[in-house]
Copies of this chain bind each other. A is one copy, B any other.
Amino acid sequence: MSDYHAIEIESRQKIEFVDITSRVRDFIRAAKSRSGLLLITTPHTTAAVTINENADPAVPHDIGEFLRRLVPEQGYFRHSEGNSPAHVMSSLVGASETLIIDNGEPILGSWQGVFFCEFDGPRRRRVFLKLIPG
């Protein structure tokens, strides 16, 4: 039996930031541990997890648009699948984030939300959650 939780995501665009904050909160509330660390990680190499503002949808849009313009579509890339830009973005943003869990809640700032970052969509994707008590 696996001791971690999977969130299923269906992205709809090539580059898309999917707000998973409420699903992360739901998992933590259902968990037995009221204090510890929560790892939020994706098993995909053309995606990432980040924490940023989720009040104004323009913020994740702007981050995605910056990344799209930063990484060239082609040129010197050798990977034949053509999705090297997505792999680059994945390593720039990172595959995981970690949150403090305290009194059964994630410690997030007023403006912070958790996003799954799609860089090679649309696709079916997953994010894994693992809570370590302490």
Contacts and interface: CB of A to CB of B under 8 A. Distances in A.
Contacts of A66: 71, 77, 84, 88
A106 to B, nearest CB: 11
Interface in A66-109: 66, 69-71, 76-81, 84, 87-88, 90-100, 102-103, 107-109
Contacts of A2: 102-103
A69 B77 CA distance: 12
Interface in A57-72: 58-59, 61-63, 65-66, 69-71
25 contacts: A4-B102, A4-B107, A36-B134, A37-B130, A39-B98, A41-B99, A43-B110, A45-B51, A45-B52, A52-B90, A52-B91, A58-B77, A58-B80, A59-B87, A61-B78, A62-B79, A63-B87, A65-B76, A66-B84, A66-B88, A69-B76, A96-B97, A100-B128, A132-B132, A132-B134
